[in-house]
Amino acid sequence: MKIILLSMTMFSINFLFMKHPLSMGFILLLQTILSSVVLSYNMCSYIYSYILILIFIGGMLILFMYMASIASNEKFFFSMKLILMSMLMTLIVYSYMLMIDLEYMNLNKMIYLIDDQEEFFMNKMFSFPSGIMILVMVIYLLFTLIAIVNIIKIKIAPLRSN
């Protein structure tokens, strides 16, 4: 878990210094995967992490398609200074986190309280009245997706025409 948080910190620092849109998208995709792993580790149900990954990957595919059509011939330079600087900053942040005494804040008691509330939330969310509403929303989104795909098929053309 600490390694995941450490790598998320390093990716966040790297994201600030990126200039190429495709590298920014790749770091954003890695951040999404790592945050969904952390979310699935802390929650009882994995459904929220799956939904998060699917939403972000869908958005990232659209951004990738757009950026690949606009900035397709741009050169991508790999900077070793950036990697060394981000690793140094990440190690500084990580060493600061290790200095904080987590038992002093009684985090274990809060985690048990959150776990109890989480099971109640999941049961309440998928119970009878709200479960039907969620099913209706899923069907509505599916029909909307099918309609948008059929509208887009009318004009089959690239994003950027010469």
Question: Residue 126 has what pLDDT?
Answer: 64
Worst-scoring range by mean pLDDT, 4-8, 47-51, 65-69, 107-111? 107-111
CA 8 to chain centre: 11
Q: In terms of residues, how long is the chain? A: 162
Residues 124 and 149: their CA atoms lie apart, in Å, by 34
Does a structural domain hold residue 40? Answer: yes
Over range 49-53, report the average pLDDT: 82
Over range 30-46, report the average pLDDT: 80
pLDDT for residue 109 is more than 80 = no
pLDDT for residue 103 is more than 70 = no
Does a structural domain hold residue 12? Answer: yes
Number of domains observed in the structure of the chain: 1
Does a structural domain hold residue 157? Answer: no
Name 33's Cβ contacts closer than 8 Å, sequence gap at least 6. Answer: 53
Does a structural domain hold residue 10? Answer: yes
Does a structural domain hold residue 41? Answer: yes
Q: Which residue has the higher pLDDT, 32 or 77?
A: 32
Does a structural domain hold residue 154? Answer: no
Residues 25 and 41: their CA atoms lie apart, in Å, by 24
41: containing domain: 2-126
Does a structural domain hold residue 159? Answer: no
Over range 5-20, report the average pLDDT: 78
